Amino acid sequence: MMEEAIRISEEIENECVKEWKGAGGKVVGYACVATPVEIIDAAGLLPYRIRALGNPRTDIADAHLARFNCSFCRSCLQLGLDGTYDFLDGLIETNGCDHLRGMFENWMYTKPSPFFHYVKVPHLTTKDAMDYFEEEVGLFRQGIEKGFGAKISDDDLREAIERQEAIRERLRTIYDMRKGDAVAFTGAEALSLFLLASAVPPGKFLELADAAIDERQGNAVEGYRARLMLAGAASDELELIREIEDVGGLIVSDALCYGARAFWSPIDTEGDPIKALAQVYLGDLLCPRMYQDYPRRRDFVLDSVAGSSADGVIVMHNKFCDVHGVDNVQLRLDLEKRDIPVLQLEKEYGSKADIGRIRTRVQAFLERIGGRQ
Amino acid sequence: MTQALMTAKTGMFDRVAELFEVIDSLPEKMSDEEIAGLLNFLPPDAAKSLGAMLIPRVREGSVAFMRMLARWLEDAKTAREKGKKAILVPFCFPPELIHAFDNAFPVTSEVLSTLGVVALEGQGERYYDMALGLGLPDHICSSNSIEVGSMLGSNDFQPQAIVSAAVGSCDINSKTHEFVANYHGIPIFSLEKPVDNTERGVEQYYRNYRTLIASLEEFFEEELLEENVRRVVENHNTCTDLYMELWELHKAVPHPVPALFALYTYGCRFSMWGTEAGVDMMRTIVGVSKRRLAAGDHPGEKEVARCLLTYTSFYFDLAGMFNWMDDQGYAYMGDGLNMLFPQPVETTSMDTMLDGMAEEARNMPMTRQMGAPSMAMGWSDDVITAVRELNADCAIYPGHHACKQTWSAASILREELMKRTGVPLLILQADSWLKRTTPIGVLQGQIDEFVKNVVVPKRSGRTKVRRKNA
């Protein structure tokens, strides 16, 4: 089952998407962790998180975005413009960061999607900001209803919240199974399962995830030198994680945008659904795009380090990513203050040329930590 | 000796403030010989900048600008001993709100960075390197990281709080100020611009502005008084009238306004706008420009092209950028930081004044364009308005490498400009504050080639420029 999950997660237009589309289903793409996917799900649409899977090509995108824009966004734009994402029936923008905004603006300017909606996410969690975002979630619901001719009742929304919460719960279980001495999943496997969760219908994911969880009960990954936590920028690069693990750094926890930060907070499944979504997608949002909220992000990392008995932390960001690039310095300083070994890594997304350098730095980091032989 | 070393001024603010004390003590009117003598005493980088600012056509305006800044720096430096709190603000925050408090004074990080680049030997690069030395990435923005690098890495002046007003319109500006606040344990107050220009978004911004005022009142232990607000608003309104006069003067052919006055205008907007010193400075540069118009004076021998810069300019070489443009006859119609389109504020009541000030804040450069629902369209609309009103022949995007939002919208700006106006856009790559990225000579060469090969032939009707969907 794990092999099947990995295989499906490594394709952008995977077999489940094709099957969904073949049955007349519609797929709506989003990129940012602050997108309330339950609204899409409640309308009977498939929410699909845009990814680049390490795609190094950016030649088409570079005619629109600049070399000073992050290569993850350029890579995603490339796939948007070269036809890879033609299966999407709609696009949801958020103001996640300046690069992401630019990616969506250029995508829509050059190759407009049949449906587009912009979810405006505040950068603060004041009462005014929370109220504003609640209205914004309501507007998103109306936008989806209008765009796809659907009617989303509160009950539909509650059911979608329960479905998505089940996905989150499975991901938390998978992550929990990496915390103890016996690590059931490698970091690359966990990332594969994470990617799967936002690229296939909920039922399919739950089936594959449950099977993987069963299969890995009592499993213990062996042959690593140190347990590492990975924190930082948007990255869905399976190859990168494999490279880090290949040199002996087993990833046992993370604070990544394509990772724990997307599912760690449980959603209230009982109360007002719009309020519940506003709380989880803004109030609980763990992202350096949020201001006056750094202590919560720092504590999440510190708790994860302690909870997963990590020997060290790699904080990474894609070149030109400002929000993570600066936040990572604060994180590094705070980890150093607590004598937690930390490696601050700047990288180009999807760049094969960068891999050798990264391997060397991780190897040196592992030597510094000492690790287990 | 040890004591002297310990108290040596190594921080950027302190060094700039000391230099401006000297500048402020110079006579009002100086002859060319006296200026030449003065420049001989200054270190080369400072002499180069001051030399650029004291050439005859801009001298009167420059002296007024430097006197205004000297006052600003002196007030910032002595704020604490006068019982005031010095508040670090970004350029996109209208300083008149802080000027309206008796217990506070605004210090603008980008203005300080620019002064460091212009006035100090080494052009402030050492402070930028201090920020990088902490591990901050080299894609942070030099506009504020030169100043905050000094705060992080030297025994420099420290503000008592920070207002972060780029939230929603610039990630790196907001992150850098947040970092400094966390690093030094300085309180930070955020003013978010929702990327939403509907009535709901505007109301939200007004609420955010009022919340900020309430937080500042609590921090300053001072209620914002109507008489103080009225004072700064009336000065704002006078500055606005003068700004609009200058805007009208920019429309004249040939163009009478020296390029450096664009910098002085927003230098005032970001520091002393809303004060009498700001009014005096604006009045001086408008007066000089009017006299030049009346005399038919154009900075160059003839007007070769009318150029609008679409974002920041290049500040590491005032002579090589601003004066060079003038000398070539490349009329400098202003740059993106001049696109703040101020409006008079209604003075009927405290509420109308505060709403008016909030509206001005919402329309500050960058906030207005990059905080729009679409960065590309918010920006394009303003650039196109300016191109049309000022009858510009061309636009130049002085691509500042750290400015990720404008970089991600530049290709759309180019398309929209061409589609809607037929005006071509030159895209440059450099750092606006650091000479190490692209030397001024290279930039001059690119502007020269663009004007001579694209703009002039088009202006003279020798080539037809492609118009999309025409």
Please tell me the distance in Å from A69's CA to the nearest CA on chain B: 6
Q: How big is chain B, counted in residues?
A: 470
Q: What is the pLDDT of residue B411?
A: 98
**Average pLDDT for residues A307-316, to the nearest whole number?**
97
B/e letters for B87-123, b = 16+ CB within 10 Å, e = fewer, are bbbbbbbbbbbbbbbebbbbbbbbbbbbbbbbbbeeb
**Average pLDDT for residues A184-200, to the nearest whole number?**
97
Q: Do B399 and A66 touch (CB under 8 A)?
A: yes
Q: Do B207 and A289 touch (CB under 8 A)?
A: no
- Which of the two residues, B338 and B299, has the higher pLDDT score? B338
A296 touches chain B (CB under 8 A): no
Element (H, E) at A47: strand A46-49
Whether residue A12 lies inside any domain: the answer is no
- Over 90: is that where the pLDDT of A352 sits? no
Whole-angstrom distance, CA of residue B135 vs CA of residue B129 = 10
* Cβ neighbours for B299, distance < 8 A, ≥ 6 positions apart: B57, B255, B258, B259, B326, B327, B329, B331
B167 touches chain A (CB under 8 A): yes
B224 touches chain A (CB under 8 A): no
DSSP-assigned letter for residue B464: P
- Over 70: is that where the pLDDT of B2 sits? no
A332 touches chain B (CB under 8 A): yes
Please tell me the distance in Å from A212's CA to the nearest CA on chain B: 39
pLDDT tens column, A28-48: 999 999 999 999 999 999 999
Please tell me the distance in Å from B453's CA to the nearest CA on chain A: 23
Q: Which residues of A touch B370 (CB under 8 A)?
A: 98
Q: What is the pLDDT of residue B464?
A: 53
Q: Which residues of A touch B184 (CB under 8 A)?
A: none
Q: What are phi and psi of A350, to 5 degrees?
A: 65, 10
Q: Do B171 and A289 touch (CB under 8 A)?
A: yes
What CATH number did the domain enclosing A45 receive? 3.40.50.11890
Q: Which residues of A touch B373 (CB under 8 A)?
A: 118, 120
Q: Do B167 and A291 touch (CB under 8 A)?
A: yes
Q: Which residues of B touch A66 (CB under 8 A)?
A: 399, 407-408, 410-411
**Average pLDDT for residues B309-319, to the nearest whole number?**
97
Q: What is the pLDDT of residue B470?
A: 37
Q: What is the pLDDT of residue A372?
A: 52
> Percent of chain A at pLDDT above 70?
99
ipTM over 0.90: yes
pLDDT tens column, A218-275: 999 999 999 999 999 878 999 999 999 999 999 999 999 999 999 999 999 999 999 9
Residues spanned by the domain of B241:
227-459
Whole-angstrom distance, CA of residue A179 vs CA of residue A175 = 7
> Percent of chain B at pLDDT above 90?
86
Whether residue A134 lies inside any domain: the answer is yes
Whole-angstrom distance, CA of residue B109 vs CA of residue B426 = 28
Whole-angstrom distance, CA of residue B244 vs CA of residue A147 = 44
What CATH number did the domain enclosing B441 receive? 3.40.50.11900
Q: Which chain A residues in 95-124 lie under 8 Å from chain B, judged by CB atoms?
A: 95, 97-99, 101-103, 105-106, 109, 118, 120, 122-124
Whether residue A8 lies inside any domain: the answer is no
Q: Which chain B residues in 384-443 lie under 8 Å from chain A, judged by CB atoms?
A: 399, 401-405, 407-412, 415
Q: What are phi and psi of B50, to 5 degrees?
A: -65, -35
pLDDT tens column, B4-14: 444 567 899 99
Confidence of residue B461 (pLDDT cuts 50, 70, 90): confident
Q: Do A98 and B405 touch (CB under 8 A)?
A: yes
Residues paired with B397 in a beta bridge: B427
Whether residue A110 lies inside any domain: the answer is yes
**Average pLDDT for residues B287-313, to the nearest whole number?**
93
Mutation choice for B interface testing from A326, A331, A332, A333 by most B CBs within 10 A: A326
pTM for the whole thing? 0.95
Q: Do B374 and A105 touch (CB under 8 A)?
A: yes
Whether residue B423 lies inside any domain: the answer is yes
Instruction: List the single range of A87-91, B76-80, B261-265, B350-354 with lowest mean pLDDT.
Output: B76-80
DSSP-assigned letter for residue A25: -
Closest CA to B429 of B460, B451, B396: B396
Element (H, E) at A93: strand A90-94
Please tell me the distance in Å from A191's CA to the nearest CA on chain B: 27
Whether residue A237 lies inside any domain: the answer is no
Whether residue A373 lies inside any domain: the answer is no
Q: What is the pLDDT of residue A370?
A: 83
**Average pLDDT for residues A197-221, to the nearest whole number?**
97
Q: What is the pLDDT of residue B229?
A: 98
Residues paired with A250 in a beta bridge: A227
Whether residue B349 lies inside any domain: the answer is yes
- Over 60: is that where the pLDDT of B466 sits? no
Q: Do B373 and A120 touch (CB under 8 A)?
A: yes
Residues spanned by the domain of A116:
24-155
Q: What is the pLDDT of residue B463?
A: 58
Instruction: Tally the domains of chain B.
Output: 1
Instruction: List the single range of A153-157, B37-41, B427-431 with lowest mean pLDDT.
Output: B37-41
Q: What is the pLDDT of residue B412?
A: 98
Whether residue B283 lies inside any domain: the answer is yes
Whether residue B135 lies inside any domain: the answer is no
Whether residue A144 lies inside any domain: the answer is yes
Q: What is the pLDDT of residue B26?
A: 83
pLDDT tens column, B37-79: 989 988 899 999 999 999 999 999 999 999 999 999 999 999 9
Residues paired with B104 in a beta bridge: B85
Residue with tokens 């300019």: B313
Q: Which residues of B touch A118 (CB under 8 A)?
A: 195, 373
Closest CA to B161 of B105, B229, B222, B95: B105
From residue A218, give the alpha-carbon distance in Å to each of A263, B365, B368.
24, 59, 57
Triad B265, B268, B270: Cα angle to 5°: 110
**Average pLDDT for residues A287-300, to the nearest whole number?**
97
Which range in A59-68, B22-31, B141-150 is most confidently predicted, on average pLDDT?
A59-68
Would the CA dihedral through B17, B22, B26, B32 be positive or negative?
A: negative
Q: Which residues of A touch B411 (CB under 8 A)?
A: 63-66, 106
Q: Closest residue of B to A132, CA-based?
A: B204
Instruction: Tally the domains of chain A.
Output: 1
Whether residue A29 lies inside any domain: the answer is yes
Please tell me the distance in Å from A120's CA to the nearest CA on chain B: 7
Q: What is the pLDDT of residue B467?
A: 45
Q: Which residues of B touch A294 (CB under 8 A)?
A: 178, 182
Contacts 24+ apart (CB under 8 A), B198-202: B200/A132, B200/A135, B201/A120, B202/B362
Q: What is the pLDDT of residue B154?
A: 82
- Over 50: is that where the pLDDT of B299 sits? yes
A199 touches chain B (CB under 8 A): no
Q: What is the pLDDT of residue B123?
A: 94
